[in-house]
Amino acid sequence: MPAVPTGVSDAMREVYQSGLIMGNDPTHFSVIGDCQNVSSYFLAVFEKPGEYNLGEEYAYLQPTIDYYQGSFSRVSVAVKGGFNAAAVISPLRADPDVCNANESPLDCELRLWRPSVVIVSMETWWSQKPEEEYAKYMRRVLDRIIETGAVPIIATKADNLEGDHAINATVAQLAYEYDIPLWNFWAAVQPLPDHGLSPDGFHLTFARNFFDDPMRMKNAWPWRNLTALQTLDVVRRGVTGGE
């Protein structure tokens, strides 16, 4: 499977249109996930001119950066270090300062930001739990996102801490089952030194987001931001018919 999806299904275009009727903002996307989705590293750079460079090869992505301004640097209430698929649907893990009583982090984020697209990137999981449990909770996450009329983008992870790639296999299966865009980040880092992983086998190697710099592009973080942006670009074009 490619790192970046090639299009959006008719089913997800219908979900998107129903979401607009329900009041979702077409220029808003949200992120749901753990520490590898904290905005200071992930995507916020696209609201800081001079802190990134698309280069000629990726200049076509600028309209998508312009379109989603305000979402890249948003601090999602459903992103936190240690969050997993169970935590984001638990009201016990919600921020009481901004979330309603008995509201999960996921529901809180969907209510506050009214996104039309949601990136779901869950690297963290209980290592002793089987992938069937991961899939069970992820289905609840995806069902809720789709219920609100937003298009979920589901992401694979760079690591293989579970040892048998079971989580990524589950993610790919869910993408197929739900007919949703798959951001296959695992594929993006395979050509990199050490597959883009630090010695701990989990954290990504870091460099600044200058996509025309071959040395920087030997690290995982620029590829994480670039392929996420490319995926958003494919989804934006797919649901809006835009250029």
Scan for tokens 């880092």, then name that residue. 189
pLDDT digits (tens, 9 = 90+) for 20-32: 999 999 999 999 9
Q: Select 10-235's CATH number: 3.40.50.300, 3.40.50.1110, 3.40.50.720, 2.40.30.40.
A: 3.40.50.1110
Predicted pLDDT at 243: 64
Is 80 exceeded by the pLDDT of residue 93? Answer: yes
User: In three state form, how does the secondary structure of 52-87 look?
Assistant: EECCCCCHHHHHHHHHCCCCCCCCCCCECCCCCCCH
Predicted pLDDT at 216: 98
- Could you tell me the pLDDT band of residue 162, with boundaries at 50, 70 and 90? confident
User: What does pLDDT average to over the chain?
Assistant: 95
pLDDT digits (tens, 9 = 90+) for 96-151: 999 999 999 999 999 999 999 999 998 766 666 778 888 999 999 999 999 999 99
